Amino acid sequence: MHGGGVDTDKHNGADSASLREKVQLRRGEKWRILKNIITVSVAFMVQFTAFQGTANLQSSINAKEGLGTVSLSAIYAALVVSCIFLPTLVIRKLTVKWTLCVSMLCYAPYIASQFYPKFYTLIPAGILLGLGAAPMWASKATYLTQLGQVYAKLTDQSVEAIIVRFFGFFFLAWQTAELWGNLISSLVLSSGAHGAAAAVDGNGTGSPHSSDPNLDSCGANFCVVETSDNANLQRPPDSEIFEISAIYLSCIVAAVIIVAVFLDPLSRYGERRRGSISATEISGMQLLSATFKQLKKANQQLLILITVFIGMEQAFIGADFTQAYVSCALGIHQIGYVMICFGVVNAICSIIFGSAMKYIGRVVIIILGLYGALFRRNKEAAFSNYRLWESVGFVVAYAYSTNLCARMKLYLLFGVLVCGMIGYTIVEIRQLKKEKRLKQLEEIPKQQQTDADRKAIEEDDEKDELEEDIVVTHL
Protein backbone atom coordinates (compact mmCIF):
# COMPACT_ATOMS: atom_id res chain seq x y z
CA MET A 1 0.00 0.00 0.00
CA HIS A 2 1.52 3.29 -1.08
CA GLY A 3 1.21 6.80 0.25
CA GLY A 4 0.25 7.12 3.91
CA GLY A 5 -0.99 3.60 4.28
CA VAL A 6 0.26 0.73 6.39
CA ASP A 7 1.08 -2.80 5.27
CA THR A 8 0.85 -5.42 8.01
CA ASP A 9 2.01 -9.02 7.62
CA LYS A 10 -0.52 -11.22 9.38
CA HIS A 11 0.19 -14.71 10.61
CA ASN A 12 -2.76 -16.92 11.48
CA GLY A 13 -2.75 -18.04 15.08
CA ALA A 14 0.28 -15.93 15.98
CA ASP A 15 0.23 -13.58 18.92
CA SER A 16 -0.22 -10.06 17.60
CA ALA A 17 2.73 -8.95 19.70
CA SER A 18 4.95 -10.76 17.22
CA LEU A 19 3.61 -8.88 14.22
CA ARG A 20 6.09 -6.71 12.39
CA GLU A 21 4.26 -3.82 10.84
CA LYS A 22 5.84 -2.18 7.81
CA VAL A 23 4.99 1.48 7.40
CA GLN A 24 5.29 2.61 3.78
CA LEU A 25 5.42 6.37 3.41
CA ARG A 26 6.32 8.83 0.68
CA ARG A 27 8.75 11.68 1.25
CA GLY A 28 5.85 14.09 0.92
CA GLU A 29 4.25 12.57 4.02
CA LYS A 30 6.40 14.86 6.12
CA TRP A 31 3.99 17.74 5.41
CA ARG A 32 1.08 15.68 6.72
CA ILE A 33 3.09 14.87 9.82
CA LEU A 34 3.69 18.57 10.41
CA LYS A 35 -0.05 19.17 9.98
CA ASN A 36 -0.72 16.62 12.71
CA ILE A 37 1.84 18.20 15.03
CA ILE A 38 0.16 21.57 14.53
CA THR A 39 -3.28 20.04 15.08
CA VAL A 40 -2.47 18.39 18.41
CA SER A 41 -0.60 21.50 19.57
CA VAL A 42 -3.48 23.84 18.74
CA ALA A 43 -5.97 21.49 20.39
CA PHE A 44 -3.98 21.47 23.64
CA MET A 45 -3.55 25.24 23.44
CA VAL A 46 -7.33 25.70 23.25
CA GLN A 47 -7.89 23.05 25.95
CA PHE A 48 -5.47 24.61 28.41
CA THR A 49 -6.64 28.12 27.66
CA ALA A 50 -9.67 26.97 29.61
CA PHE A 51 -7.98 24.85 32.28
CA GLN A 52 -5.01 27.09 33.08
CA GLY A 53 -7.22 30.15 33.25
CA THR A 54 -9.58 28.36 35.63
CA ALA A 55 -6.83 26.82 37.76
CA ASN A 56 -4.99 30.11 38.26
CA LEU A 57 -8.12 31.64 39.77
CA GLN A 58 -9.08 28.78 42.08
CA SER A 59 -7.11 29.75 45.18
CA SER A 60 -8.56 33.27 44.94
CA ILE A 61 -12.16 33.00 43.69
CA ASN A 62 -12.89 29.83 45.70
CA ALA A 63 -10.78 30.70 48.73
CA LYS A 64 -13.54 30.03 51.28
CA GLU A 65 -12.59 26.96 53.34
CA GLY A 66 -9.81 26.36 50.82
CA LEU A 67 -12.31 24.98 48.27
CA GLY A 68 -10.29 26.00 45.20
CA THR A 69 -7.03 24.55 46.51
CA VAL A 70 -8.74 21.36 47.70
CA SER A 71 -10.32 20.88 44.26
CA LEU A 72 -6.92 21.26 42.61
CA SER A 73 -5.47 18.77 45.08
CA ALA A 74 -8.27 16.33 44.17
CA ILE A 75 -7.34 16.68 40.49
CA TYR A 76 -3.75 15.67 41.05
CA ALA A 77 -4.51 12.99 43.63
CA ALA A 78 -6.76 11.37 41.03
CA LEU A 79 -4.03 11.89 38.46
CA VAL A 80 -1.63 9.88 40.62
CA VAL A 81 -4.06 6.96 40.64
CA SER A 82 -4.76 7.41 36.94
CA CYS A 83 -1.07 7.33 36.06
CA ILE A 84 -0.74 3.95 37.73
CA PHE A 85 -3.85 2.26 36.39
CA LEU A 86 -5.22 3.91 33.28
CA PRO A 87 -2.90 5.14 30.48
CA THR A 88 -1.73 1.83 29.04
CA LEU A 89 -5.17 0.27 29.45
CA VAL A 90 -7.09 3.15 27.89
CA ILE A 91 -4.65 3.62 25.02
CA ARG A 92 -4.81 -0.11 24.32
CA LYS A 93 -8.62 -0.06 24.15
CA LEU A 94 -9.29 3.28 22.45
CA THR A 95 -6.06 3.94 20.49
CA VAL A 96 -4.10 7.17 20.90
CA LYS A 97 -6.41 9.50 18.95
CA TRP A 98 -9.66 8.54 20.68
CA THR A 99 -7.98 8.40 24.05
CA LEU A 100 -7.15 12.06 23.46
CA CYS A 101 -10.77 12.90 22.63
CA VAL A 102 -12.34 11.08 25.57
CA SER A 103 -9.74 12.34 28.04
CA MET A 104 -10.10 15.94 26.94
CA LEU A 105 -13.85 15.75 27.49
CA CYS A 106 -13.17 14.88 31.14
CA TYR A 107 -12.12 18.51 31.67
CA ALA A 108 -15.59 19.87 30.85
CA PRO A 109 -17.38 19.00 34.15
CA TYR A 110 -14.74 20.83 36.21
CA ILE A 111 -15.19 24.00 34.18
CA ALA A 112 -18.97 23.63 34.36
CA SER A 113 -18.77 23.24 38.16
CA GLN A 114 -17.61 26.85 38.40
CA PHE A 115 -21.26 27.82 37.87
CA TYR A 116 -22.05 26.16 41.22
CA PRO A 117 -18.79 25.79 43.19
CA LYS A 118 -19.41 23.51 46.16
CA PHE A 119 -17.37 20.70 47.66
CA TYR A 120 -19.82 18.13 46.27
CA THR A 121 -19.55 19.56 42.73
CA LEU A 122 -15.94 20.67 42.36
CA ILE A 123 -14.31 17.70 44.07
CA PRO A 124 -15.99 14.93 41.99
CA ALA A 125 -15.44 16.97 38.83
CA GLY A 126 -11.79 17.43 39.79
CA ILE A 127 -11.39 13.69 40.34
CA LEU A 128 -12.87 12.98 36.88
CA LEU A 129 -10.49 15.51 35.33
CA GLY A 130 -7.53 13.89 37.06
CA LEU A 131 -8.52 10.43 35.89
CA GLY A 132 -8.71 11.65 32.31
CA ALA A 133 -5.52 13.72 32.41
CA ALA A 134 -3.02 10.85 32.64
CA PRO A 135 -4.23 8.99 29.50
CA MET A 136 -4.43 12.32 27.68
CA TRP A 137 -0.84 13.31 28.41
CA ALA A 138 0.49 9.80 27.77
CA SER A 139 -1.32 9.74 24.42
CA LYS A 140 0.03 13.13 23.44
CA ALA A 141 3.59 12.19 24.35
CA THR A 142 3.35 8.87 22.52
CA TYR A 143 1.89 10.57 19.43
CA LEU A 144 4.59 13.26 19.25
CA THR A 145 7.42 10.83 19.93
CA GLN A 146 6.31 8.31 17.32
CA LEU A 147 5.72 10.98 14.67
CA GLY A 148 9.16 12.35 15.51
CA GLN A 149 10.73 8.98 14.77
CA VAL A 150 8.87 8.71 11.45
CA TYR A 151 9.73 12.27 10.45
CA ALA A 152 13.39 11.71 11.27
CA LYS A 153 13.42 8.65 9.00
CA LEU A 154 11.74 10.55 6.15
CA THR A 155 14.14 13.49 6.37
CA ASP A 156 17.32 11.62 7.35
CA GLN A 157 17.73 13.64 10.53
CA SER A 158 18.55 12.81 14.15
CA VAL A 159 15.60 11.19 15.93
CA GLU A 160 16.46 12.87 19.20
CA ALA A 161 16.70 16.33 17.62
CA ILE A 162 13.36 15.93 15.82
CA ILE A 163 11.57 14.72 18.95
CA VAL A 164 12.88 17.70 20.90
CA ARG A 165 11.86 20.05 18.07
CA PHE A 166 8.32 18.63 18.01
CA PHE A 167 8.01 18.84 21.78
CA GLY A 168 9.42 22.37 21.64
CA PHE A 169 6.76 23.46 19.16
CA PHE A 170 4.06 21.72 21.19
CA PHE A 171 5.11 23.46 24.40
CA LEU A 172 5.30 26.77 22.57
CA ALA A 173 1.62 26.43 21.66
CA TRP A 174 0.75 24.96 25.06
CA GLN A 175 2.45 27.75 26.97
CA THR A 176 0.57 30.40 25.01
CA ALA A 177 -2.57 28.98 26.60
CA GLU A 178 -1.38 30.76 29.74
CA LEU A 179 -1.60 33.99 27.76
CA TRP A 180 -5.04 33.44 26.21
CA GLY A 181 -6.65 31.96 29.31
CA ASN A 182 -5.46 34.75 31.57
CA LEU A 183 -6.24 37.41 29.00
CA ILE A 184 -9.85 36.24 28.96
CA SER A 185 -10.16 36.33 32.76
CA SER A 186 -8.38 39.67 33.03
CA LEU A 187 -10.54 41.40 30.44
CA VAL A 188 -13.75 40.13 32.01
CA LEU A 189 -12.77 40.92 35.60
CA SER A 190 -11.20 44.30 34.80
CA SER A 191 -14.18 45.51 32.80
CA GLY A 192 -16.66 44.30 35.42
CA ALA A 193 -17.73 45.73 38.75
CA HIS A 194 -14.81 44.12 40.60
CA GLY A 195 -12.14 45.69 38.43
CA ALA A 196 -13.91 49.03 38.19
CA ALA A 197 -14.13 49.30 41.97
CA ALA A 198 -10.41 48.68 42.29
CA ALA A 199 -9.61 51.29 39.67
CA VAL A 200 -11.47 54.12 41.42
CA ASP A 201 -10.67 53.21 45.00
CA GLY A 202 -7.98 55.45 46.42
CA ASN A 203 -8.03 54.16 49.98
CA GLY A 204 -6.28 50.86 49.44
CA THR A 205 -9.31 48.60 49.65
CA GLY A 206 -9.26 47.84 45.94
CA SER A 207 -6.05 49.24 44.52
CA PRO A 208 -3.49 49.13 47.35
CA HIS A 209 -0.79 51.70 47.98
CA SER A 210 2.61 51.14 49.53
CA SER A 211 1.32 52.50 52.85
CA ASP A 212 -1.37 49.79 53.08
CA PRO A 213 -0.55 47.63 56.14
CA ASN A 214 -2.04 44.62 54.33
CA LEU A 215 1.03 44.58 52.06
CA ASP A 216 3.21 43.51 54.97
CA SER A 217 1.41 40.17 54.98
CA CYS A 218 1.80 39.60 51.22
CA GLY A 219 4.61 37.99 49.23
CA ALA A 220 6.97 35.72 51.17
CA ASN A 221 5.18 36.66 54.42
CA PHE A 222 1.81 35.50 53.12
CA CYS A 223 -0.05 33.03 55.34
CA VAL A 224 -3.58 32.03 54.38
CA VAL A 225 -4.94 32.02 57.95
CA GLU A 226 -3.76 35.60 58.61
CA THR A 227 -5.24 37.38 55.58
CA SER A 228 -8.99 36.97 55.97
CA ASP A 229 -9.46 40.74 56.32
CA ASN A 230 -7.68 41.60 53.05
CA ALA A 231 -10.21 43.27 50.73
CA ASN A 232 -8.13 42.36 47.67
CA LEU A 233 -9.01 38.70 48.20
CA GLN A 234 -12.79 39.18 47.99
CA ARG A 235 -14.54 36.97 45.41
CA PRO A 236 -15.63 38.77 42.21
CA PRO A 237 -19.35 38.87 41.33
CA ASP A 238 -20.86 35.60 40.15
CA SER A 239 -21.88 37.12 36.83
CA GLU A 240 -18.25 37.74 35.91
CA ILE A 241 -17.13 34.27 36.95
CA PHE A 242 -20.03 32.72 35.00
CA GLU A 243 -19.05 34.67 31.88
CA ILE A 244 -15.46 33.46 32.13
CA SER A 245 -16.55 29.87 32.72
CA ALA A 246 -18.90 29.90 29.71
CA ILE A 247 -16.02 30.97 27.46
CA TYR A 248 -13.74 28.32 28.92
CA LEU A 249 -16.34 25.57 28.51
CA SER A 250 -16.64 26.47 24.83
CA CYS A 251 -12.88 26.10 24.51
CA ILE A 252 -13.01 22.51 25.83
CA VAL A 253 -15.64 21.54 23.28
CA ALA A 254 -13.66 23.20 20.48
CA ALA A 255 -10.47 21.33 21.45
CA VAL A 256 -12.20 17.94 21.30
CA ILE A 257 -13.67 18.75 17.88
CA ILE A 258 -10.23 19.76 16.55
CA VAL A 259 -8.72 16.41 17.53
CA ALA A 260 -11.69 14.34 16.34
CA VAL A 261 -11.90 16.01 12.91
CA PHE A 262 -8.38 17.04 11.95
CA LEU A 263 -5.95 14.63 13.67
CA ASP A 264 -4.83 11.51 11.77
CA PRO A 265 -4.90 8.29 13.82
CA LEU A 266 -1.50 7.00 14.88
CA SER A 267 -2.21 3.75 13.03
CA ARG A 268 -1.13 5.63 9.92
CA TYR A 269 2.38 5.68 11.35
CA GLY A 270 2.65 2.22 12.87
CA GLU A 271 0.67 2.43 16.10
CA ARG A 272 0.14 -1.34 16.31
CA ARG A 273 3.71 -2.34 15.64
CA ARG A 274 5.91 -4.71 17.61
CA GLY A 275 7.06 -3.27 20.93
CA SER A 276 4.14 -0.88 21.20
CA ILE A 277 1.67 -1.36 24.02
CA SER A 278 -1.11 -0.68 21.51
CA ALA A 279 -0.01 -3.76 19.57
CA THR A 280 0.27 -6.16 22.45
CA GLU A 281 -2.62 -8.52 23.08
CA ILE A 282 -2.00 -9.18 26.77
CA SER A 283 -4.12 -9.06 29.88
CA GLY A 284 -5.07 -5.89 31.73
CA MET A 285 -2.87 -6.81 34.69
CA GLN A 286 0.13 -7.27 32.41
CA LEU A 287 -0.51 -3.88 30.89
CA LEU A 288 -0.81 -2.43 34.39
CA SER A 289 2.48 -3.99 35.40
CA ALA A 290 4.27 -2.10 32.60
CA THR A 291 4.01 1.11 34.63
CA PHE A 292 5.41 -0.57 37.75
CA LYS A 293 8.19 -2.33 35.83
CA GLN A 294 9.32 1.05 34.58
CA LEU A 295 9.97 2.06 38.19
CA LYS A 296 12.58 -0.69 38.54
CA LYS A 297 14.90 1.11 36.13
CA ALA A 298 17.66 3.11 37.79
CA ASN A 299 17.28 6.11 35.48
CA GLN A 300 13.57 6.27 36.23
CA GLN A 301 14.24 6.26 39.97
CA LEU A 302 16.89 8.96 39.69
CA LEU A 303 14.46 11.22 37.82
CA ILE A 304 11.73 11.00 40.46
CA LEU A 305 12.73 14.03 42.56
CA ILE A 306 13.25 16.42 39.65
CA THR A 307 9.86 15.34 38.31
CA VAL A 308 8.24 15.88 41.71
CA PHE A 309 9.80 19.35 41.75
CA ILE A 310 8.21 20.17 38.38
CA GLY A 311 4.81 19.44 39.90
CA MET A 312 5.51 21.35 43.12
CA GLU A 313 6.80 24.36 41.18
CA GLN A 314 3.75 24.49 38.93
CA ALA A 315 1.45 24.18 41.94
CA PHE A 316 3.28 27.04 43.66
CA ILE A 317 2.95 29.27 40.61
CA GLY A 318 -0.70 28.43 40.01
CA ALA A 319 -1.95 28.68 43.60
CA ASP A 320 0.54 30.23 46.03
CA PHE A 321 2.18 32.81 43.78
CA THR A 322 -1.12 34.06 42.37
CA GLN A 323 -2.62 34.40 45.84
CA ALA A 324 0.38 35.58 47.89
CA TYR A 325 2.09 37.89 45.39
CA VAL A 326 -0.71 39.00 43.08
CA SER A 327 -4.19 38.82 44.64
CA CYS A 328 -2.99 39.86 48.09
CA ALA A 329 -1.12 42.93 46.88
CA LEU A 330 -2.82 43.93 43.62
CA GLY A 331 -6.25 42.31 43.56
CA ILE A 332 -7.76 39.24 41.92
CA HIS A 333 -8.43 41.11 38.67
CA GLN A 334 -4.66 41.49 38.16
CA ILE A 335 -3.88 37.75 38.24
CA GLY A 336 -4.42 37.32 34.52
CA TYR A 337 -2.13 40.16 33.49
CA VAL A 338 0.73 38.90 35.67
CA MET A 339 0.32 35.32 34.48
CA ILE A 340 0.27 36.49 30.86
CA CYS A 341 3.87 37.62 31.33
CA PHE A 342 4.71 34.21 32.78
CA GLY A 343 3.11 32.46 29.80
CA VAL A 344 4.86 34.63 27.21
CA VAL A 345 8.29 33.97 28.71
CA ASN A 346 7.58 30.24 28.85
CA ALA A 347 6.53 30.21 25.21
CA ILE A 348 9.66 32.08 24.13
CA CYS A 349 11.86 29.69 26.10
CA SER A 350 10.21 26.72 24.39
CA ILE A 351 11.36 28.08 21.04
CA ILE A 352 14.86 28.99 22.20
CA PHE A 353 15.59 25.71 23.99
CA GLY A 354 14.12 23.57 21.23
CA SER A 355 16.22 25.26 18.55
CA ALA A 356 19.35 25.35 20.70
CA MET A 357 19.23 21.61 21.39
CA LYS A 358 21.75 20.77 18.69
CA TYR A 359 24.21 23.25 20.19
CA ILE A 360 23.80 22.74 23.93
CA GLY A 361 23.01 19.02 24.21
CA ARG A 362 20.21 17.12 25.91
CA VAL A 363 20.07 19.00 29.22
CA VAL A 364 16.93 20.95 28.30
CA ILE A 365 15.01 17.82 27.37
CA ILE A 366 14.02 17.44 31.02
CA ILE A 367 11.18 19.87 30.20
CA LEU A 368 10.71 18.88 26.58
CA GLY A 369 10.82 15.10 26.26
CA LEU A 370 13.64 13.43 28.18
CA TYR A 371 11.44 10.42 29.04
CA GLY A 372 10.74 9.81 25.36
CA ALA A 373 14.42 9.86 24.51
CA LEU A 374 15.54 7.61 27.38
CA PHE A 375 12.74 5.06 27.17
CA ARG A 376 11.63 4.98 23.53
CA ARG A 377 10.63 1.33 23.63
CA ASN A 378 8.42 1.91 26.68
CA LYS A 379 7.05 5.35 25.86
CA GLU A 380 3.57 4.83 27.33
CA ALA A 381 4.87 3.49 30.66
CA ALA A 382 7.63 6.11 30.81
CA PHE A 383 5.33 9.07 30.29
CA SER A 384 2.85 7.51 32.69
CA ASN A 385 5.58 7.55 35.34
CA TYR A 386 6.40 11.14 34.49
CA ARG A 387 2.82 12.24 35.07
CA LEU A 388 2.66 10.06 38.20
CA TRP A 389 5.55 11.77 39.96
CA GLU A 390 4.71 15.21 38.65
CA SER A 391 1.23 14.72 40.11
CA VAL A 392 2.74 13.65 43.43
CA GLY A 393 4.50 17.01 43.43
CA PHE A 394 1.21 18.82 42.85
CA VAL A 395 -0.54 16.87 45.62
CA VAL A 396 2.26 17.51 48.13
CA ALA A 397 2.31 21.23 47.33
CA TYR A 398 -1.47 21.58 47.57
CA ALA A 399 -1.56 19.50 50.77
CA TYR A 400 0.55 22.01 52.68
CA SER A 401 -0.72 25.05 50.76
CA THR A 402 -3.09 26.31 53.45
CA ASN A 403 -0.89 25.29 56.40
CA LEU A 404 2.51 26.82 55.57
CA CYS A 405 3.48 30.39 54.85
CA ALA A 406 4.97 31.31 51.48
CA ARG A 407 8.52 31.62 52.82
CA MET A 408 8.63 28.02 54.06
CA LYS A 409 7.19 26.81 50.76
CA LEU A 410 10.07 28.50 48.92
CA TYR A 411 12.62 26.77 51.16
CA LEU A 412 11.01 23.40 50.46
CA LEU A 413 10.97 24.02 46.72
CA PHE A 414 14.65 24.93 46.69
CA GLY A 415 15.61 21.82 48.66
CA VAL A 416 13.71 19.48 46.34
CA LEU A 417 15.20 21.23 43.30
CA VAL A 418 18.78 20.73 44.51
CA CYS A 419 18.23 17.05 45.28
CA GLY A 420 16.42 16.56 41.98
CA MET A 421 19.24 18.11 39.96
CA ILE A 422 21.75 15.80 41.63
CA GLY A 423 19.69 12.80 40.49
CA TYR A 424 19.32 14.23 37.00
CA THR A 425 23.06 14.83 36.72
CA ILE A 426 23.70 11.19 37.61
CA VAL A 427 21.28 10.13 34.84
CA GLU A 428 23.20 12.19 32.30
CA ILE A 429 26.51 10.64 33.37
CA ARG A 430 25.05 7.12 33.24
CA GLN A 431 23.53 7.74 29.83
CA LEU A 432 26.77 9.07 28.35
CA LYS A 433 28.64 6.01 29.60
CA LYS A 434 25.96 3.70 28.25
CA GLU A 435 25.95 5.32 24.81
CA LYS A 436 29.73 5.07 24.62
CA ARG A 437 29.67 1.38 25.63
CA LEU A 438 26.92 0.50 23.15
CA LYS A 439 28.75 2.26 20.36
CA GLN A 440 31.83 0.20 21.12
CA LEU A 441 29.79 -3.03 21.18
CA GLU A 442 28.11 -2.26 17.86
CA GLU A 443 31.51 -1.77 16.23
CA ILE A 444 32.41 -5.36 17.08
CA PRO A 445 31.59 -7.76 14.21
CA LYS A 446 28.50 -9.83 15.04
CA GLN A 447 30.39 -13.11 14.85
CA GLN A 448 32.78 -11.84 17.52
CA GLN A 449 30.10 -10.56 19.88
CA THR A 450 29.55 -12.55 23.07
CA ASP A 451 26.10 -13.47 24.34
CA ALA A 452 26.40 -10.71 26.93
CA ASP A 453 27.23 -8.17 24.20
CA ARG A 454 24.22 -9.14 22.10
CA LYS A 455 21.95 -9.08 25.14
CA ALA A 456 23.13 -5.59 26.08
CA ILE A 457 22.35 -4.31 22.58
CA GLU A 458 18.95 -6.01 22.43
CA GLU A 459 17.89 -4.68 25.82
CA ASP A 460 18.85 -1.11 25.03
CA ASP A 461 15.96 1.10 26.14
CA GLU A 462 16.68 3.50 23.31
CA LYS A 463 16.43 0.83 20.64
CA ASP A 464 13.07 0.98 18.87
CA GLU A 465 12.34 -1.08 15.79
CA LEU A 466 10.11 1.65 14.35
CA GLU A 467 13.06 3.26 12.58
CA GLU A 468 13.78 -0.08 10.91
CA ASP A 469 10.12 -0.67 10.03
CA ILE A 470 9.64 2.55 8.04
CA VAL A 471 9.93 2.10 4.29
CA VAL A 472 10.33 5.36 2.37
CA THR A 473 9.01 5.30 -1.20
CA HIS A 474 9.17 7.90 -3.94
CA LEU A 475 5.75 7.14 -5.41
Summarised one tens digit per residue, pLDDT across range 142-181 is 899 889 888 888 888 888 788 888 887 888 788 788 888 8
C-alpha angle 297/299/300, rounded to 5°?
65
Could you write out the DSSP letters of every residue in 422-433? HHHHHHHHHHHH
Average pLDDT for 254-264:
95
What whole-number distance in Å separates Cα of residue 420 and Cα of residue 415? Answer: 9
Which of 141-150, 186-195, 338-347 has the largest mean confidence? 141-150
Report residue 377's pLDDT band, with 50, 70 and 90 as the boundaries: low
Torsion angle of the four alpha carbons 295, 300, 301, 306, in this order, in degrees rounded to the nearest 10: -130
DSSP designation for 178: H
Q: Among residues 125, 16, 133, which one has the least CA distance to residue 70?
A: 125
Cβ neighbours of residue 8 closer than 8 Å, sequence gap 6 or more: 19, 21, 22, 272
pLDDT of residue 327: 81
Q: Which residue has the higher pLDDT, 14 or 54?
A: 54
Question: Is the model's pLDDT at 134 over the cut of 70?
Answer: yes
Average pLDDT for 305-318:
89
Report residue 82's pLDDT band, with 50, 70 and 90 as the boundaries: confident
- Which CATH class, in words, describes the domain spanning 27-196+213-268+281-289+309-409? mainly alpha
Report residue 115's pLDDT band, with 50, 70 and 90 as the boundaries: very high
Question: Is the model's pLDDT at 259 over the cut of 80?
Answer: yes
Report residue 35's pLDDT band, with 50, 70 and 90 as the boundaries: very high
Q: How many CA atoms lie within 13 A of 52 on its CB side?
A: 25
pLDDT of residue 457: 56
Question: Is the model's pLDDT at 11 over the cut of 50?
Answer: no
Report residue 192's pLDDT band, with 50, 70 and 90 as the boundaries: low
Question: Is the model's pLDDT at 37 over the cut of 90?
Answer: yes
62-66, 279-283, 307-311, range with the lowest pLDDT: 279-283
